[in-house]
């Protein structure tokens, strides 16, 4: 489904990603871990098409298409969803209006008619249940005045509504209380299917108890320096990153 080959990304002449290789197949869940500032969010944004990122080398192939040739909105319409580490507030724009615009843009791309208002509201109600999100929240402006945890839940709610094929969740677990963590994980698990894939960026192995990954990668200084199964996450939890850093820095 997704094939990243030797991807190098600059931000303002500084190389942040220094040759990423990653292959994700349909039905898989990949976890990406790594110290702060190692480039995890940069990778996520590069996949979603953030424009001030400069891809200097390599390829991103998604469903056989060269992703770098698509605008961010077309990538979304092709089924790529990014759960933001820091969801943005849009004052005065209601969640309902925002999501309706989003869904109908995607439908238009697929050559479908806009969803009638009644059907849309019904869909919202259904999906709200999945993430147990307060009705009140969806009547408010996009993320405005939402608590940290509410913002994260709202990302998963949007994911449930938009039904992406490839979801990239950037630290969606940070700032969630224990109940919310369970709810969010359940939400992600419900959306898991043989056709879809998920990339989870996280600092905590706890999340991976709920959402069991097929592969765990460690990103450090712009490179994937280690990959393994879920036991790798346990190891990191116990020993931290130092041993990996030593390994890598010794080679460099």
Partner 1 sequence: MTDQEKILNEVTGSDYKFGFQTNIDTETIPKGLNEEVVRIISAKKEEPEWLTESRLKAFRHWQTLHMPDWAHLKIPEIDYQDIIYYAAPKQEAKYESMDEVDPELLDTFNRLGIPLEEQKQLAGVAVDAVMDSVSVKTTFQDILADKGIIFCSFSDAVKNHSDLIKKYMGSVVPYTDNYFAALNSAVFSDGSFCYIPKGVRCPMELSTYFRINAANTGQFERTLIVAEEDSYVSYLEGCTAPIRDENQLHAAIVEIVAMENAEVKYSTVQNWYPGNKEGKGGIYNFVTKRGICKGDNSKISWTQVETGSAVTWKYPSCILKGDNSVGEFYSVAVTNNYQQADTGTKMIHIGKNTRSTIISKGISAGKSQNSYRGLVKVLKGAENARNYSQCDSLLLGDKCGAHTFPYLEVNNRSAVVEHEATTSKIGEDQIFYCNQRGIDTENAISLIVNGYAKEVLNKLPMEFAVEAQKLLAITLEGSVG
Ligand X SMILES: Nc1ncnc2c1ncn2[C@@H]1O[C@H](COP(=O)(O)OP(=O)(O)OP(=O)(O)O)[C@@H](O)[C@H]1O
* Cβ distance to ligand X smaller for residue 35 or 114: 35
Residues of this chain that interact with partner 1 (CB under 8 A) are 48-52, 71-73, 76-77, 81-82, 84, 87-88, 90-93, 97-99, 101-103, 105-106, 109, 141-142, 158, 162
Q: Minimum distance from CB of 230 to partner 1 (Å)?
A: 28
Site for Mg ion (CB under 5 A): which residue of 41, 143, 154, 205?
41
76 binds, among partner 1, Mg ion, ligand X, none (CB under 5 to 8 A by kind): partner 1
* Cβ distance to ligand X smaller for residue 77 or 87: 87
Residues of this chain that interact with ligand X (CB under 6 A) are 11-12, 16, 34, 36-42, 85
For 123-128, the CB contacts below 8 A with 24+ separation are 123/161, 124/96, 124/99, 124/161, 127/157, 127/160, 127/161, 128/157
CA atoms within 13 A on the CB side of 202: 30
The two beta strands, 197-201 and 166-170, are: parallel
* Cβ distance to ligand X smaller for residue 53 or 99: 53
Q: Tell me the C-alpha distance between 108 and 106, whole Å.
A: 5
CB 182, CB 190: distance < 8 Å? no
Q: Tell me the C-alpha distance between 43 and 56, whole Å.
A: 13
Q: Minimum distance from CB of 53 to ligand X (Å)?
A: 8
The pair phi, psi for residue 84, each rounded to 5°, is -75, 145
* Cβ distance to ligand X smaller for residue 32 or 131: 32
111 binds, among partner 1, ligand X, Mg ion, none (CB under 5 to 8 A by kind): none
2-10, 81-89, 133-141, 191-199 -> range binding Mg ion (CB under 5 A): 81-89
Distance separating the N- and C-terminal Cα atoms of the chain: 32
């Amino acid at each position: 489904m997704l094939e990243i080959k030797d991807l190098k990304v600059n931000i303002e002449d500084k190389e942040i990603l220094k040759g990423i290789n990653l292959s994700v197949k349909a039905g898989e869940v990949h976890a990406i871990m790594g110290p702060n500032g190692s480039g995890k969010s940069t990778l996520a944004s590069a996949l979603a098409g953030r424009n001030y990122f400069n891809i200097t080398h390599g390829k991103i192939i998604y469903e056989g298409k060269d992703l770098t040739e698509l605008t961010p909105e077309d990538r979304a319409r092709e089924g790529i969803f990014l759960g933001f580490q820091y969801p943005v507030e849009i004052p005065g724009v209601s969640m309902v209006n925002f999501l309706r615009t989003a869904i109908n843009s995607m439908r238009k791309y697929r050559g479908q008619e806009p969803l009638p208002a009644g059907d849309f509201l019904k869909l919202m109600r259904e999906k709200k249940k999945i993430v147990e999100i307060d009705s009140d929240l969806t009547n408010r402006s996009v993320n405005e005045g939402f608590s940290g945890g509410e913002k994260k839940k709202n990302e998963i709610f949007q994911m449930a509504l938009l039904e992406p094929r490839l979801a990239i969740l950037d630290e969606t677990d940070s700032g969630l209380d224990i109940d919310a963590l369970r709810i969010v994980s359940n939400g992600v698990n419900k959306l898991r299917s043989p056709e879809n894939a998920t990339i989870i960026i996280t600092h905590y192995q706890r999340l991976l108890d709920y959402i069991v990954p097929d592969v765990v990668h460690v990103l450090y200084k712009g490179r994937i320096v280690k990959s393994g199964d879920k036991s790798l996450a346990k190891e990191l939890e116990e020993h931290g990153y130092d041993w990996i850093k030593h390994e890598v820095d010794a080679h460099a």
